[in-house]
Amino acid sequence: MIPSESIFLQIRGLRYHVRAWGNPEARKIFLLHGWMDVSASFQFVVDAMRGDWRILAPDWRGFGLSEWCGVDSYWYPDYLADLEGLLDALQPGEPVNLAGHSMGGNIACIFAGVRPGRIGRLVNLEGLGMRDSSAEDAPKRYAKWLDDVARPQQFRGYASYEDLAARLCESNGRLDPERARFLARHWGVLRDDGRVELRSDPAHKRVNPVLYREQEAMACLRGITAPVIWVEGELSDLFTKFKLSREVVAERRRQIPNCVHRTIMGAGHMLHHDRPEQVAEVLNDFFS
């Protein structure tokens, strides 16, 4: 494995962790992980990269080694402001090569539409967006959020890192067991009682009271000026999970002026775990 180093920055009052691989003087690629993931998940992609790159991947606030907020909920716009702070600290004043997976892909796309001058090229890995909502959904969503706020949140614990690795393999039948053991060591942390818990703030479990509004998201996509590759996994379960039709997602892609669609065969939603070599090939070819 290519070794990584940890960089810690103060971003908007939080101690942010950024995992870095490669030559500090080389061209940079920024990688953004998804919900309930961590920056170390990109290790397999980094190992498959060709050429000389400096690859930088932050742990989002409340995930991995970045600081928790100590609040009831995590708000989506905060990720946009955090990303801007990270880019200003790590590559100020010039367009960046940016790739994001799932939630990270959605953040990357929205940011690219509202700050088009900051993005040179963009790869969206399974950042499909959520199911559209209507105003009629608001009362139930706010009620659910209030109920969640009233209850302490907690992730289940695991007997060991091996137990967590087995759970990861159970969730994703395509995940190599050796990779699962690596991920378990970064997704989990050993507690004083000997059990392993996820290295994430349980507040992430609370439902977001702010509804996803497709028209707002598509307006941001139309503002993207950078070339984009939109990548989906052939076996992705996200369409079913989020109740998204492929035509709805295709319409979102069509909002981006300069967008190419790619499918990675044999990969599910976690395509950077399932087929990291193919993901690395996309990044190498596009960013080179």
Classify the C-alpha dihedral 236-201-31-229 as positive or negative.
positive
> Which residues are CB-contacts of 191 (< 8 A; sequence separation ≥ 6)?
157, 197
What's 264's domain CATH number?
Answer: 3.40.50.1820
| pLDDT tens profile 129-148 | 999 999 999 999 999 999 99
Mean pLDDT computed over 262-273: 98
What is the arithmetic mean of pLDDT over 48-57? 97
Binned at pLDDT 50, 70 and 90, residue 12 comes out as very high
| Mean pLDDT, residues 179-205 | 95
* pLDDT at residue 91, as a whole number: 98
Residue 171 lies in a domain: no
Across residues 104-133, what is the average pLDDT? 97
pLDDT of residue 283: 98
The whole-number average pLDDT for the span 89-108 is: 98
Asked, for residue 186, whether it belongs to a domain, the answer is no
Full domain range(s) for residue 21: 4-132+212-287
Mean pLDDT of 271-288: 98
Residue 162 lies in a domain: no
Residue 15: inside a domain = yes
Determine, yes or no, domain membership for 173: no
Mean pLDDT of the chain: 96
Neighbouring residues of 244: CB distance < 8 A, sequence distance ≥ 6 = 128, 129, 131, 238
231 in Cβ contact with 279 (< 8 Å): yes
Evaluate whether residue 20 is within a structural domain.
yes
Dihedral sign, Cα of residue 58, residue 60, residue 63, residue 67: positive
Residue 205 lies in a domain: no
- 71: confidence class by pLDDT, cuts 50, 70, 90: confident
pLDDT of residue 112: 98
What does the pLDDT average to over 178-205?
Answer: 95
Domain count, the chain: 1
The answer as to whether 144 is a domain residue is no
Is residue 61's pLDDT more than 90?
A: yes
